Amino acid sequence: MEGVIDALTRDLLTRQAGFDWSVTEFVRVVDARLPPRVFYKHCPELATRPVATPSGVPVHLQLLGSDPATLASNARQALALGAISIDLNFGCPAKLVNRHDGGASLLRQPDRVFNAVRAVADALGGEIPVTAKIRLGFSDRRLAVTCAQATEAGGAAQLVVHGRTRDEGYRPPAHWEWIGKVRHHVSIPVVANGDIWTLEDYWKARTLSGCNDVMLGRSALSDPWLAPRIRHWQLTGERLPDTTWAMRAYVLKEYAALQRQRLPDRVVVSLVKQWLAQMRQGNAEANQHFQRLKRITDLNTLLNTLTLGKPVQNQEPA
């Protein structure tokens, strides 16, 4: 997830069993083949074999663009650097990205989705797979199935469907039953995405979509124990206890310790607060701690105070 999940976050989130794979932030492709340093910046794991987090969860490289030839040449570049698959992003709702004809804007013209996937699949020549991520449409869902079919026809080996249109942004609910409709019309594996915040959401999303697999976005950050909770339930049928503030604070401390090795403290403070802000989503307690901590500017003070003090009451998540 662009701006919020980097290699260190992936490392931390995959230390416990839960995730089967992960995807980089998108690499924005416009009109040129990007130099290797851009790929290494988004995916430092390319420097390792296998291309995976330290605990062994594969890391897939995501491209976002619209021009088939440029996407193809960047896919080849990524392949040469050791990428294990190329994921194409047709879901990004950002106005800037869409204005420049990328992300979800292509969902208005399924043939362009097809052309992009086909060009990348051809460029990769079967050496590594191409996968795709779509939303249910741009302003409405009329082309949801056609776009999904376009990814399959273009050669995608797997499709993630975020159950909202671009115009729905991140507004709940995600339409899991619509992901199911899409799934019925393609034969590649479909992964359900959107608004899976709890174990119950996971059950519902799987039941309504009929998908075997789900992708977690914001909830991976807001509750780093959600994926392990899901995995534990899959393996044992038992439900792990809810994530406490102390557990969240532990992750933030670990994260700060990792970031501190390469960045100045003032930047690490912002990064810790950014993750803390993500933790507020769907968690009133984390929001109350955010209110208590948000004005602290010194990293040591912030870390020492994470588990001290009472949360500030009566604050709604932003």
CB of 29 or CB of 196, closer to ligand FMN:
196
Residue whose CB is nearest to ligand FMN in the complex, by number: 217
Question: Please, which of residues 220-239 interact with ligand FMN by CB under 6 A?
Answer: none
Contact letters (x/-) for ligand FMN, 255-284, by CB under 6 A? Answer: ------------------------------
Q: Which of 43, 92, 147, 211 is catalytic?
A: 92
Question: Please, which of residues 82-121 interact with ligand FMN by CB under 6 A?
Answer: 89, 91
Contact letters (x/-) for ligand FMN, 135-174, by CB under 6 A? Answer: ---------------------------x------------
Q: With binding defined as CB under 6 A, does residue 65 bind ligand FMN?
A: no
CB of 114 or CB of 176, closer to ligand FMN:
176
Output the smallest distance, CB 221 to ligand FMN, in A.
9
Q: With binding defined as CB under 6 A, does residue 288 bind ligand FMN?
A: no
92 is an active site residue: yes
Backbone angles phi, psi at 272, to 5 degrees: -65, -45
Q: With binding defined as CB under 6 A, does residue 26 bind ligand FMN?
A: yes
Q: At what angle do helices 265-279 and 245-260 cross, to 10 degrees?
A: 150
Q: With binding defined as CB under 6 A, does residue 2 bind ligand FMN?
A: yes
Taking CB under 6 A as the criterion, the residue among 144, 211, 216, 272 binding ligand FMN is 216
CB of 4 or CB of 208, closer to ligand FMN:
4
Q: With binding defined as CB under 6 A, does residue 209 bind ligand FMN?
A: no
Is 121 within 8 Å of 81 (Cβ atoms)?
Answer: no
Q: With binding defined as CB under 6 A, does residue 196 bind ligand FMN?
A: yes
CB of 175 or CB of 292, closer to ligand FMN:
175
Active site residues: 92
Applying CB under 6 A, which residues contact ligand FMN? 1-4, 25-26, 62, 89, 91, 133, 162, 193-196, 216-219
